[in-house]
């Protein structure tokens, strides 16, 4: 019986030793990981200050680059749409953002060609396609592509619909 009591103490003591050993290993691993993270991530104030300066410079450049270019307004378009069943009209006013000052582009010289291109494009559309947001987005992309194809000096960077009525 004394042997049985001793065996029970060893088995109970063995599991508690294993638990203590696991806790110690976990503390060492976590402590080592924390120390490594501190060492590699907390590299110093000079590097942080230098990185902060570069970040501010980049933000200033981004703000300058995102400034809008000159915006020119085309005269309103009133045209028939390509609907087969009903006679539908589109009245649209569009503004275009240039990528550089207007004097450095050939926009004014190309206005007749741009209007012709837009009239042909828009009169080929059906009203049910133009009523949706995606339809307007596609037309905006097509306008951008076609106008940039007409212009030789300078480009259009954005297209804005300021009036868009289908009747």
Angle at CA of residue 136, ends 130 and 140, nearest 5°: 130
Range of the structural domain that residue 18 is part of: 2-65
The pLDDT, as a whole number, for residue 162 is: 95
For the stretch 69-100, pLDDT in tens is: 899 999 999 999 999 888 999 999 999 999 99
Whether 17 shows a pLDDT value over 90: the answer reads no
Are residues 51 and 79 both part of a single domain? no
Q: What is the pLDDT of residues 50-74, one digit of tens each?
A: 555 566 555 555 554 567 889 999 9
Please tell me the predicted confidence (pLDDT) of residue 67.
75
Task: List the CATH number of the domain containing 122.
Answer: 3.30.479.30
Q: Name the domain boundary from 65, 83, 115.
A: 65
Pair 138, 124 in one domain: yes
Least confident of 9-18, 26-35, 90-99, 108-117: 9-18
Contacts of 12 (CB under 8 A, 6+ apart): none
Q: Are residues 112 and 75 in the same domain?
A: yes
Q: Convert 24-49 to b/e letters by CB count within 10 Å (16 or more is b).
A: eeeeeeeeeeeeeeeeeeeeeeeeee
User: Is the same domain home to 75 and 109?
Assistant: yes
Residue 33: predicted pLDDT: 76
What does the mean pLDDT of the chain come to?
82
* Residue 47 confidence (pLDDT): 56
């Amino acid at each position: 019986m004394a042997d049985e009591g001793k065996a029970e103490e060893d088995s109970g003591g063995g599991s508690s030793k294993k638990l203590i050993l696991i806790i110690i290993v976990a503390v060492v691993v976590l402590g080592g990981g924390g120390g490594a993270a501190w060492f590699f991530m907390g590299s110093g104030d000079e590097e942080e200050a230098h990185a902060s300066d570069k970040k501010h410079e980049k933000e200033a450049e981004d703000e300058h680059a995102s400034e809008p270019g000159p915006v020119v307004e085309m005269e309103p378009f009133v045209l028939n749409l390509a609907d087969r069943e009903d006679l539908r009209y589109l009245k649209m006013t569009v503004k275009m953002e240039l990528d550089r000052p207007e004097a450095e582009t050939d926009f004014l010289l190309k206005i007749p060609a741009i209007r012709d291109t837009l009239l042909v494009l828009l009169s080929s559309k059906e009203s049910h396609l133009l009523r949706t947001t995606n339809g307007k987005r596609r037309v905006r992309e097509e306008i951008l592509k076609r106008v940039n194809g007409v212009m030789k000096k300078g480009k259009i960077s954005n297209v804005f619909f300021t009036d868009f009525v289908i009747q």
